[in-house]
């Protein structure tokens, strides 16, 4: 199967970038091709980390305001994994360690890759590196809460592992990467 990007333009550049393209590709069920135009949120790669605090038997999540969620829910606050964008020429593991420390105040050192995936491939180029890390309460080395210069406002949330099922079943967690990570934890830990 072949494809060709016939034309691609940057149509918006702000906090996010949006590109518009005309694409032609082969069809599955006949010899003809199909052409159409699409917009894409052109986003770089990102990381997210499921933290497990071994000595307290808690998973460590964060709570922060997410403007896009206000379009469907009345509550813009989202409980999710610590996460962030990979900077230019930055290694995903280095980024994950940095983001964990900035957002939670914990120093994570041994990260295990759970999966690498596209969260919304129909509209975004963003690829997510999802990690798991174990920490202890002694690994809390900084305040956390996000980068003040970036005006981040993040709350650390600790949940006993005995509450993971109820978090998933009562819609307390409605972020895809967090659902994937918590389900992985229930299956593997």
Annotated binding site for Mg(2+): 83, 99, 103, 152
Q: Which residues are annotated as a binding site?
A: 83, 99, 103, 152
Could you please report the per-residue DSSP string of the chain?
--EEEEEEEEEEESSSEEEEEEEEEE-SSSS-EEEEEEEEE----EEEEEEEETTTTEEEEEEEE-GGGGGTSS--EEEE--EEEPPTT--HHHHHHHHHHHHH-B----EEEEEEEESSTTTB--EEEEEEEEE-GGGB-S--S--GGGT---EEEEEEGGGHHHHHHTTS---HHHHHHHHHHHHH-
């Amino acid at each position: 199967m072949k494809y060709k990007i016939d034309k691609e333009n940057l149509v918006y550049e702000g906090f996010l970038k949006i590109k518009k393209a005309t694409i032609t590709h082969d069809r599955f069920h006949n010899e003809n091709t199909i052409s159409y135009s699409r917009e894409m949120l052109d986003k770089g790669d990102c990381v997210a980390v499921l933290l497990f605090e071994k000595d307290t038997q808690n998973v460590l999540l964060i709570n922060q305001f997410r403007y896009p969620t206000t379009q469907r829910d009345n509550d813009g606050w989202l409980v999710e994994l610590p996460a962030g964008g990979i900077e230019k020429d930055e290694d995903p593991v280095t980024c994950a360690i940095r983001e964990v420390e900035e957002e939670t105040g914990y120093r994570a050192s041994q990260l295990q890759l759970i999966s690498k995936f596209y969260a919304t491939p129909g509209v975004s180029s963003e690829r997510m590196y999802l990690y798991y890390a174990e920490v202890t309460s002694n690994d809390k080395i900084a305040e956390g809460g996000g980068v003040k210069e970036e005006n981040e406002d993040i709350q650390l949330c600790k949940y006993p592992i005995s509450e993971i099922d109820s978090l998933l079943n009562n819609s307390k967690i409605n972020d895809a990467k967090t659902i994937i990570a918590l389900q992985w934890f229930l299956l593997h830990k």
